[in-house]
Structure 1
Amino acid sequence: MLPRVLITSPYPDFTKLTEDICCELSVEPVIIEAVLEDAVQKVLKITERDEIEVVVSRGGTAAALKNNVSVPVITAEASDYDILQALWEAKNISSKIAFLGSYYHQGGYEFKKPEKILGINIKQYLYRNYEELENMVLRAYEDGMEVVVGGGQPAVNMAKAMGMRGILIYSSRRSIVQAIERAKEVIRIRRHDRKYTQRLRTVVNSVEEAVILVDEQERVMFINRVAERILGLDNRVVMNKQIKELNNLWLAGVYQDGIPCDGHLQELDNTKVVVNRYPVNSKNENFGVVVTFQELTRLQQLEQKTRRKIYHKGLVARFSFDDIIGESRAIREAIETAKKYGHTDSTVLITGETGTGKELMVQGIHNISSRKEGPFVAVNCAALPENLLESELFGYEEGAFTGAKKGGKLGLFELAHGGTIFLDEIGKIPFSLQGRLLRVLQEKEVMRLGGSKVIPVNVRVIAATNLELSDAVQKGDFRADLYYRLNVLKLKLPPLREREGDIELLTNHFISSFNKKFRKNVKYIPKEIRDWINQYQWPGNVRELENFI
């Protein structure tokens, strides 16, 4: 879409030159010949009706527009050369020269050098609107001036009516080109910001938590739809208003004094909510606070839903090494190593990029191990909030927290007793839970939340990560003792780009699989696409290739 620019023109020649320049610069212009208040009124009507991205104007008209319209205004400044040229023309008419300038230039123009160069005296008359412009032309007439420079076509007409000569300050092609180029850059930046803002708005509106952004002066900058619903507020109404102005008890309650908190439980109107407040900082500069909150009943529903999803997997490993497609040396060596690990009972740490098939390999290890008749329990450590992950892993006793299920609940370690527990994305496990996990690995026992007794568990742990845990240990984000406890046997899975020949095998496998699934009969892929498939780096590895096919 071409940039849409509204341009105010002070005289016909400016209109024609601007039209030509916009055509050359691929800009879609809307041009009106008007100045000062007349231009402001016309621009307001057009911007209300049409989608104008930037306004380009001159001098006093530009200043008036900036004070009255919400669209960005770019000033097409007349250059010193443009002014000097107009003064030279005026000198050839009379030495009694009046210069009409706008208050856009605070304090007027500096004419000492032009006066010296041209050998003339220039008297300035400043104006802000039509009425002042007319008064200044009249005053110039009363002061005995014979030629008027500036003020646009209206000033020329006024001067002529009083028997004086009027000289227009013509904008050079260069000054107009520079203004249009600046307008294009402003449009580019605004479009980029609009895309970014809309993406961010969509992300924030897609979460199930209420989200509120407050600036450093406690003004509401954004609330998402969930927050609008719970608080009974409209984002468009509350924008840029201070929290205390809104007189909303819930909003004041979850914000309080803006002090950071994480998972704070509080009661509002007999409803329990879990509140988080995160400061927005950059280089020791404060930009406000992000507040998120969720009704406890909603969290409990999410907890139950998450449990159902995990438990409905059946606690069974469905895949074996035979299900791993690939003949490359890299993947065969990885499988052979995994098979050796399957005949031991030690903890295994599997590393590899996302989409390399870590869970498939884990299930293969389980299914050839002495624990293959036991349960296989998989949990993604990054998929659950910290409080839910803790209750999922270790279970809880009845009454451990509000909404806890009667009779309590088995944790995943207890469910995996006699089998294998797969801790996916182990690098994302909160630091506060790493100590409890280490104890389970060392002592082979767990204690439920709210419980007072330890429960022995016989579980083999296999962990996986796409992060380099040794780096996380160096940064202090991951406990060194837990890392060494997990990193007994290490298996690194090769990325697809290093599995020579496997892309072809996997492509054919997925075509066959999706033919059956979608009742299609795709027999081949065009050579140029197949060549591209073989040359592409596949950063998402096998999962990305499968989705592509």
Structure 2
Amino acid sequence: IISIKVKNKLKRDIAEVNEIINCLNKGIIILNSKMEIIHINIKALKILDIDLSDTTIIDKHINTVIKKIKLQDTNNKDIMGYWNIKGEDVRVIYNISELHLEGKELSLMISFDKVKEIINIAKTYECKEEIVFSNIIGKSEPLLEAINKSKIAAQTDSTILIQGDSGTGKELFARSIHNESLRKEGPFVVINCASLPENLIESELFGYERGAFTGANPSGKKGKIELANNGTLFLDEIGDFPLHLQTRLLRVLQERQIDRVGGGKPIDINIRVISATNKDLETLVSQGKFRLDLFYRLNIIPINLPTLKERGDDVFLCSQYIMEKICSKMNKGKKYLSQEVKDAFIEYDWPGNIRELENVLEHGICFATGDKIMLKDLPEYFLDNRLPRILKKEDCRKDYIGNEMYQKLLITENKNLEQLKMEFEKDIINKLIGIYGDSVEGKKIVAKKLDIGLTTLYRKINEYES
């Protein structure tokens, strides 16, 4: 609609375009064929933090104002990305359309808005119905790819399978898809397939009629699938769905009908199904633990979520948000990550993803004595898991001790066994102090790791320095 209005006005009187674009609640920039700015509205100036009283913007090339912007038609789709504005990466949702100026000169119109809210990707929310894609933290390519694919899928009614490790935000993506779909006014019903009690799973899912079994509600009960009517059914941990009930779930997907326990008449339902799993369903199919036909029904639109390790520098964006929330909760001043912690975060594999990051940061904030979180402030298990990576990084494999000592024997032929032993001890102690810190607390941990007294450790350090 915006594009049509502007195109029509451009054809009649280009001078009146500003009257249209200034009425819009989105940032609007119109470029000429040389990618120079010829129109910009008030909202765009505000987002870009431009003061016209001291800055000339018209006729400037777009790249002097916005860097990292891909100038190509987005086919009327909203794209989420990061632009560099005044040296900072700013998260935006944007749409770029081609225009034809007088004389058929090709131009571009950019409509955009800044994403103000960032919400932790694995946080528990009080108002889950408000979660949308703009709430998801991150600017890495694999995450933005998953978001953009999910935004497109949200506009359809197709069945979606979200796959990703524990803690990658599968439910957050499912809720975002629902809240940006045509079903957003309908219910969003979550079924955790791994936690349903075996003896009640059938009645919980499909409901039951009055008198269906002993102890049943006298008036009967709607099942969770029926409660999702005219909305979205989210099947979390679908890989744990009981094999003996998979045929019934398949019928729900195929026929859009359910049979209550004890009922004789099928009930029509209108639902959109999103499922999620951290398991490899194809492997489960090959093992006979999951039906192949059900897999195909669920896997119409597959969406794969990246691990925190695969998201690179996103770990720092997530850390910033998490630290602000935790510090606020603990009534502590603002905290920052030291460079040594940043290096450790990049090296670490994060098997627990965002949930693990939250735990590590909370521990760090709790024990940090200054405004920076140091390595010594992090949990011991995190530091223990980091040690093998440091050794690997230095190209020291499982036979690290043997290879290291062997090389020293070749290089230092004149040194006796006692001298080589001292050098080896010095290397090990220095590496551990580098990991756990040079503070008293750090040295206590090192002494505990080496199974020696703190006094002995200090004596050895003094010997090496003398």
Structure with larger RCO (C-alpha < 8 A, sep 6+):
2
Q: Normalising to structure 2: TM-score of the pair? A: 0.49
